[in-house]
Homo-oligomer: A and B are copies of this chain.
Amino acid sequence: MRWWGWGDPDRASSLPEPAAALLREEVGMGEGQRGPVALEEVKLPPSGLRPRAQRALEAAVGPGRVVGDHAVRVLHAAGKGYPDLVRLRAGTPDAAPDAVVFPESDEQVGALVRSCGREGVAVVPFGGGTSVVGGVAPVRGRHHAVIALDLRDLRGLGGIDRESLTVLAGAGTRGPALEAELAGHGLTLGHFPQSFEYVTIGGCAATRSAGQASTGYGRIDDLVTGLRLRAPAGELALAALPASGAGPSIRELVVGSEGAFGVITELALRVRPRPEATAYEGMFFETFEAGTQALRLVAQERRAPDIARLSDEEETRLSLALAGDGGIKGLAGRGYIRARGYAGGCLAILGWEGEAEDVGRRRTDSLTLLRRAGGLPLGAAPGRAWAAGRFGAPYLRDDLLDRGVMVETVETAGQWSALPGLREAITAALDETLAARGTPPVVLCHISHLYESGASLYFTFVARQEEGREIDQWWAAKSAAAEAIVAGGGTITHHHGIGRDHASWLGQEVGGLGVDVLRSVKSRLDPAGVMNPGKLLA
């Protein structure tokens, strides 16, 4: 992973020229190139780790596993949110871990967090480092030092129970490695967040993530059936169970705990047979509202595709431009659509995965309903284009930052009846806030996860950067959107998590007493308050 942006440096994406032209036109993107500083120019504070604490960490994991060199500290200095990248590219991260520690076992994690509790060293659990909400920011809190606890060596699959379709996975197992190991057993987890290539499964559980196919496979909270948490106060081990009536769900208290209670070291996961067939297709709807109603219908009739994503008019327009010769433009599609009177309109991507016969049947079931609700099938080409680029958006962001353009996302979920109001209010908040600063944005929206009672809304906004005031500009937009979300009855986050950036809105969602309940849990598991300070609980 490149330290100042996303992904493998050899796999850089650059904006297709038609998209660049569009952004020059619509958000006033300039011609300048603003690349990142060199790695050695990144300014880090000197490590504040006291020798005694250093020795305690080394005693827990072995001396070679406590690392303090510049490159490693930079790589663990931030996540991959917009403000993280702005600061990193400028060579001025807010902070950096005083050391990065690489335990190689669950027991070492246990020893490490106990030591940190005793020595007053803050601990930031670090999986893929892909947080976009400040979830891995190296915050010391009231402690003298902070370490990043990198879980990469707690990886691999075990406990494969073919009959029950469950496995155990080390928390540091990355998405592709997990799927590759599962594939060797003819299995899949089916959890594909956009950050799939870099996430760890422990990070997914800690942040209560959802993936592109979660409408079909379920969110991570549906897939985790057991877990192990190492907290400074001890260990929580919950064996895999299909369901239980045994009191409040401690599993659901650890899922989403974002490293603030302890470190998830192992997960029991529900898996499925690897799909022998997949079908990804496009469908057009005349309006976002018509598409939304159609998706509501398939969700409530329980005939939803496994993947269901509906772009609004703006996102559809921009994706067509971005797709260049691929996607919908390359196929007879656009003429076809125009011939039927869909000017503008909204693109949906629908996907089914499973046994060939099952995919055929469920596809017919979904499409029958969706067509009846006004959807115009576009065939497989848009689905292929989506599948080819499904993990690609973060790569484009680097090119936009090079060109002085801010791109950021906000997301929520709400009841179906609340979605139109939420969409309008959030779009207006972003439009007005950024227009007032002289940087009017393009705001795109899509639905990407369906539930019987509601769905998620995902917004991407793009605007010219205010040079030198990038962070203020971002925070103004971000916080205006967050206010609109909570006022409109949405959740402050459907799948990005709370981290640092959403922490001040959690109380509006769960109440002051709800936040206090979480604090009481934290106090029990992490009495010294060393676990991921400043995240989850403001």
Contact = CB atoms under 8 A, between A and B. Distances in A.
Interface stretch (A26-34, A471-479, A513-521): A513-521
Nearest to A296: B163
Contacts of A231: 513
A390 B147 CA distance: 58
Interface stretch (A1-9, A92-100, A121-129, A246-254): A246-254
Nearest to A489: B239
A413 interface: yes
B525 A523 contact: no
Give the number of copies in the complex. 2
Contacts of A456: 243
B525 A250 contact: no
A416 B163 contact: yes
Contacts of A449: 243
A427 interface: no
A502 interface: yes
Interface in A180-212: 207-210
A41 to B, nearest CB: 36
Interface residues of A, number: 86
A127 to B, nearest CB: 15
A57 to B, nearest CB: 23
A245 interface: yes
A509 interface: yes
A316 interface: no
A533 interface: no
A48 to B, nearest CB: 29
A238 interface: yes
B164 A238 contact: no
A454 B241 contact: yes
Contacts of A524: 513, 516-517, 519-520
Given A242-B452, A453-B225, A454-B241, A249 B250 contact: no
Contacts of A493: 244-246
Contacts of A54: none
Given A254-B248, A502-B246, A233 B513 contact: yes
Given A210-B245, A249-B252, A161 B514 contact: no
A280 interface: no
Contact of A521 (B163, B219, B300, B521): B521
A415 B242 contact: yes
A119 to B, nearest CB: 21
A370 to B, nearest CB: 16
A510 interface: yes
A409 to B, nearest CB: 13
A170 B514 CA distance: 21
Interface string A258-275: 100100000000101000
List the 5 closest A-B pairs by CB distance, nearest first.
Answer: A242-B454, A252-B252, A242-B451, A164-B415, A244-B491
Given A238-B510, A240-B415, A245-B491, 8 more contacts: A165-B453, A210-B243, A234-B512, A236-B511, A242-B454, A245-B494, A248-B521, A517-B521
16 contacts: A163-B296, A164-B453, A165-B453, A209-B245, A221-B249, A239-B489, A241-B491, A244-B491, A245-B493, A246-B256, A247-B498, A247-B536, A250-B518, A252-B253, A253-B253, A520-B523
